[in-house]
Amino acid sequence: MFVYADNAATTSVSKTALDAMLPYLTENYGNPSSLYSFAQKATEAVAQARATVAACLNAEPREIYFTSGGSEADNQAIISAAKAGARKGKKHLISTKFEHHAVLHTLKKLEKEGYEVTLLDVHEDGVVRLEDVAAAIREDTALVTIMFANNEIGTVQPIKEIGALCREKGIPFHTDAVQAAGHMPIDVKEMNIDMLSISGHKFHAPKGVGVLYAKKNMPLFNLIEGGAQERGRRGGTENVAGIVALAAALKESIDNMEANTAKIIPMRDKLFAELSKIPHSKINGSLEHHVPGTVNMCFEGIEGESLLLMLDMNGICASSGSACTSGSLDPSHVLLSLGLPHEVAHGSLRLSIGEYNTMEEIDHIIEVVPKVVQYLRNMSPVWDELEKGQRPHLI
Amino acid sequence: MALYSDKVMDHFQNPRNVGKLDDADGIGEVGNAKCGDIMRMYIKVKDGVITDCKFNTFGCGSAIATSSMATELIKGKPIEEALQLSNKAVVEALDGLPAHKIHCSVLAEEAVRAAVKDYYDKNGIAYNPDDFQIHDCEHCHD
């Protein structure tokens, strides 16, 4: 059985999105900037997509900027707020320790350019505290950027409250909503969001297209100079088909959100319930504040990459925050930010479920994971020591 | 997965000589759980020859595969020959490893040495300590 359980990494393109985009690759291939009526079909499609996305977020169409994806949107939002702040002598940026690297690495770059960055703790449950945000705010704070939902552990942040606080203090508030869009309701007005990043391929649009929402009057600086596309804020001929697909997929996800959530949550809860029966396992992140589909657990005494390879052999696609899968010597910064010891964080597994998954697939995962964990533990000297009491169990 | 050669995947999926030797003559353990890999190597020695060898490994796919390959390469060999085993030989025998996984082969080489050293220590056999230096992983000490 083949089970795709890595929907937080990417998703398949939905039929709705594919059908919507195909004509803009073949028949209506005009450049939206061209004058003739043939190209106007593409122009109109982009305008329509912009209106659709705006409606999905309760924003205005002119507040929607199409980008190449979530990372570009994060970069542009943060760099813009930082530059605008610097002009007023404000060079302090607030974020959290467990942001996506698109945010963290942008902040790192700004730090080298003379900005000061405060990264807030996310506590053991992976949720930022409002009082921590309040305490970090200074006279010279130029931006607060806090992700809507975490990509590895799925915890949801108190966005509306943080937004209200920032608004009260007159500080721009950006949220990386890549893991939330299409999966949870987002209302930029009600949630007091000034800027927000979205990536299409996380909700069944193709890869390579995203959105930056920027509230009107938010200063935006270009990352890409060029033509007058995107109100002059992003040069380059529009990815028309991708944009059309993104709008169609976002609308479809939102229209079906209730039904999708009702389908996903029982699958997720079954995974949590059954996999928690594995001795010395641990669920990572608060379950109270959680996106529907993400399951992140640690299994003591084993290493994540070998776990993923074994799951792959059994047809299961999943991910891990172990060092060997992160490409560095350290396990995932997200898991470490929860206070997990390195040796525990190495044994992490993320399964992310979508509405295309079935309960039969969940049952396959539940059958395979305990066996694989046991197999790897049987050859693990760490597990041997844990079992003999020569090493204390940490979870 | 294209990350690993077929040989690596074979030794990962069907590791040779997994387990423990209760009556081992030498046991060597290298690595650090914090870094995400530990290898423990057991050897049985008779008349200067490694007659049996088993391993336990906590680590990634290549850590398991290099452990497995190392046991195959030293089993049945005189100790002196086992000590000649280089990480490069392990990598070659596995048809290569990705660059960031080379350290797994270093661990495998060191696990063999550590097991031999333990055997020497237990049997009062003299050796040059310089030949048994374990590389220092700075990362593990921060």
Tell me what ipTM this predicted complex has: 0.93
Q: Which residues of B touch A382 (CB under 8 A)?
A: 33, 38, 58
Q: What is the pLDDT of residue B130?
A: 84
Query: Does any domain span residue B133?
Result: no
Cβ within 8 Å, pair B57-A380: yes
Note the pTM of the prediction, 2 decimals. 0.94
Name the minimum distance, in Å, from the CA of A390 to any CA of chain B.
14
Query: Does any domain span residue B37?
Result: yes
Residue B138 predicted with pLDDT over 60: no
Residue type, A193: I
Range of the domain at B28: 6-123
Q: Which residues of A touch B12 (CB under 8 A)?
A: 306, 309
Q: Which residues of B touch A329 (CB under 8 A)?
A: 35, 139
Vertex A44 angle, CA A43 and A46, to 5°: 70
Give chain A's contact residues with B (Cβ, < 8 Å). 301-306, 309, 312-313, 322-324, 327, 329, 331, 341-343, 346, 379-384
Cβ within 8 Å, pair A303-B58: yes
Cβ within 8 Å, pair B60-A301: no
Q: Which residues of A are catalytic?
A: 324
Q: What is the pLDDT of residue B142?
A: 41
Q: What is the pLDDT of residue A218?
A: 97
Q: What is the pLDDT of residue B100?
A: 87
Helix runs in chain A, H state only: 15-21, 37-57, 70-87, 101-112, 130-136, 159-169, 240-255, 257-275, 304-313, 323-326, 333-337, 342-345, 359-378, 381-387
Q: Which region, left, alpha or beta, applies to residue A108 given φ > 0 means left and ψ of -120 to 50 means alpha?
A: alpha
Number of domains in chain B: 1
pLDDT single digits (tens) B43-63: 999 999 999 999 999 999 999
Query: Does any domain span residue B16?
Result: yes
Query: Does any domain span residue B134?
Result: no
Query: Does any domain span residue B113?
Result: yes
Task: For chain B, positions 31-90, list CB contacts with chain A under 8 A.
Answer: 33-40, 55-61, 63-64
Q: What is the pLDDT of residue B141?
A: 43
Chain A within 8 Å of B98 (Cβ-Cβ)? no
pLDDT single digits (tens) A123-156: 999 999 999 999 999 999 999 999 999 999 999 9
B/e letters for B98-132, b = 16+ CB within 10 Å, e = fewer, are: eeebbbbbbbbbbbbbbbbbbbbeeeeeeeeeeeb
Nearest residue of A to residue B39, measured between CA atoms: A381
Name the minimum distance, in Å, from the CA of A350 to any CA of chain B.
16
Q: What is the pLDDT of residue B57?
A: 97
Query: Does any domain span residue B138?
Result: no
Q: Encoding tokens for residue A355? A: 């509405």
Name the minimum distance, in Å, from the CA of A70 to any CA of chain B.
26
Segments of chain A scoring below 70 in pLDDT: 325-329
Question: For residue B137, what pLDDT band results from cuts at 50, 70 and 90?
Answer: low
Cα–Cα distance, A7 to A202 (Å, whole number): 7
Contact A290, A155 (CB under 8 A): yes
Contact A354, A264 (CB under 8 A): yes
Q: What is the pLDDT of residue B82?
A: 96
- Find the CATH number of the domain harbouring B68: 3.90.1010.10
CA distances from A217 to A76, B25, B65 (A): 15, 75, 57
Query: Does any domain span residue B1?
Result: no
Q: What is the pLDDT of residue A327?
A: 63
Let me know if B104 is a catalytic residue: yes
Residue whose entry in the numeric block shows the structure tokens 């809860």: A269
